[in-house]
Amino acid sequence: MPRGPALLRGCPCASPLLLPPCRALALPLPLPRALAAAGRGRGAGLGSGGGGGGFRPSRVVVVAKTTRYEFEQQRYRFAGLSEDDLRQLLALKGSNYSGLLERHHIHTKNVEHVVDSLRNERIEVRLVKRREYNEETAQWADAVISAGGDGTMLLAASKVFDRCKPVIGVNTDPERSEGHLCLPVRYTHSFPDALQKLYRGEFRWQWRQRIRLYLEGTGINPTPVDLHEQQLSQEQHSWAHINGRFQDQRSEISGPHLLPVRALNEVFIGESLSSRYAVCSVLFRVNYKSCKPSFKFSLHRASYYEISVDDGPWEKQKSSGLNVCTGTGSKAWSYNINKVANQAVEEILKIVKKHGSLNLPLNREFIQKVTNEYNDSLLYSPEEPKMFFSIREPIVNRVFSSSRQRGFSSKVCVRSRCWDACMVVDGGTSFEFNDGAVASILIDTEDALRTVLLED
């Protein structure tokens, strides 16, 4: 349960858009104590922003991304490579060592800038990377700052389950990263400006809705697999679970488990690591006698499942997978799955024209206009408590159909008919989702992530 910071004004959570006020702030603290707290800089209040009170955290965790340079270093660490060896190795692979190092330095400098700015305000800072970042650290902090790109924001958000905990993103490599979820690029090099705006209340809170997942069915495995860092072999992992269940005789149908994750962008359901015909499910087998590890990639396959939207009828489907996103995620993968190309619109309109049905001449401008309007219709506000589901590369044949390739919904239920599928949350955490498992996917405004929109 979150430790609630004191309020300067009424809890901003109780805005008309959202329902139950922040649990921890059910009763506003008496004013003197709140002011004292604010003065001490400890447990400073969550101002309503936008002309109201400011926000002055006293403890901040900065979650920094792992650069590609660090990634390559870590990857070959077990071999005890020197810096020179690493340079040669990367050159052998054709990678650009100096380019990687340069981006690493840019990022590192920008992180230092953020950390220094915070410490100059006598804010207590913990700087962590992926491995060290956890829920306790997020709870310790008054605010979480991600220093990286959008991926790092997803990471930062993944350990926050408290609607009152602000998460702010700083884009540490604006030349390479879009940073949709981050503050505007100008604050990367002048973070104190952002801090001042926070203090002065020259911002408003933005609640980014998130998706929650329930899992049920025979033999489900609610243990998350961290796709970013995993120390157990997959097979040992699965086997340990199966063994456990085998012995416990827990083979009855399990009730719905609420999974310990909230999707900020999307949930993707499909055959493990599915790239359609190039799916490989990794089977890790250890030959205990020789201690010679090996693994097998099995045959690729499409994803089979049944889907029910808003408690509608179940429909069998076969596709490259199902994507269910939030307003935040509507700009991310979902957008790329669903957007239409200029070229496609042009060809469709040519066909229409051929049938004599088109008035206007087919000029570039018109085609672009139609394309843009179509693509824009795929985007919606992160604050809207609705989901957008889309089926990726649906397969339509004798057995499978797909009446609606996509649409808005409040609830999506999926029954797996897959061999080796998973549900992947924000590209980072995955859950087994095999034949028989049923997932219920929906938004609860309780799960919204509090982020910051600075005023210009």
Closest by CA to 412, choosing from 190, 211, 252, 241, is 211
Min separation Cβ 380 and its own copies, Å? 15
54 binds its own copies (CB under 8 A): no
Distance (Å, whole) CA 223 – CA 259:
8
427 binds its own copies (CB under 8 A): yes
Joined together, the tokens standing for residue 8 give 């300067």
Min separation Cβ 61 and its own copies, Å? 20
Amino acid (one-letter) located at 132? E
Interacting stretch for its own copies, rule CB under 8 A, among 4-12, 52-60, 164-172, 260-268?
Answer: 260-268
Joined together, the tokens standing for residue 373 give 């309007």
Distance (Å, whole) CA 9 – CA 401:
54
98 binds its own copies (CB under 8 A): no
Site for its own copies in 376-405 (CB under 8 A): 377, 393-395, 397-399, 402, 404-405
C-alpha torsion 88→90→93→94, nearest 10: -100
CB atoms within 10 A of CB 180: 15
Q: CB neighbours of 152 closer than 8 A, spacing ≥ 6?
A: 63, 64, 65, 146, 169
Residues 116-155: x where in contact with its own copies by CB under 8 A, - otherwise, as a string: -----------------------------------x----
Min separation Cβ 58 and its own copies, Å? 31
Min separation Cβ 251 and its own copies, Å? 5
Interacting stretch for its own copies, rule CB under 8 A, among 18-26, 194-202, 227-235, 306-314?
Answer: 227-235
| Residue 73, Ramachandran bin (φ over 0: left; ψ between -120 and 50: alpha; else beta) | alpha
Query: In this chain, which of 206, 239, 312, 384 binds its own copies, going by CB under 8 A?
Result: 239
Joined together, the tokens standing for residue 352 give 């229409």
Distance (Å, whole) CA 57 – CA 38:
9
The 3-state DSSP class for residue 21 equals coil
Cα dist. 226→136, 401, 424 in Å?
17, 33, 10
Site for its own copies in 164-223 (CB under 8 A): 176, 178, 217-220
Distance (Å, whole) CA 378 – CA 388:
9
315 binds its own copies (CB under 8 A): no
Strands 387-392, 321-325: pairing is antiparallel
31 binds its own copies (CB under 8 A): no
Query: In this chain, which of 98, 120, 134, 251 binds its own copies, going by CB under 8 A?
Result: 251
Min separation Cβ 404 and its own copies, Å? 6
Query: In this chain, which of 24, 128, 349, 379 binds its own copies, going by CB under 8 A?
Result: 349
Min separation Cβ 227 and its own copies, Å? 4
43 binds its own copies (CB under 8 A): no
Query: In this chain, which of 435, 440, 445, 446 binds its own copies, going by CB under 8 A?
Result: 435
Query: In this chain, which of 351, 365, 401, 408 binds its own copies, going by CB under 8 A?
Result: 351
Closest by CA to 258, choosing from 385, 330, 161, is 161
Min separation Cβ 65 and its own copies, Å? 9
Site for its own copies in 273-302 (CB under 8 A): 273-280, 282-287, 291, 293-300
Min separation Cβ 353 and its own copies, Å? 10
Joined together, the tokens standing for residue 162 give 């408290």
Per-residue DSSP letter, 28: P
346 binds its own copies (CB under 8 A): no
Distance (Å, whole) CA 389 – CA 409:
7
Query: In this chain, which of 8, 111, 213, 345 binds its own copies, going by CB under 8 A?
Result: 345
Of 38 and 157, which CB lies nearer to its own copies in the complex structure? Answer: 157
244 binds its own copies (CB under 8 A): no
352 binds its own copies (CB under 8 A): yes
For residue 346, which phi and psi values (nearest 5 degrees)? -60, -45
426 binds its own copies (CB under 8 A): yes
Distance (Å, whole) CA 323 – CA 32:
49
Interacting stretch for its own copies, rule CB under 8 A, among 103-111, 255-263, 307-315, 427-435?
Answer: 427-435
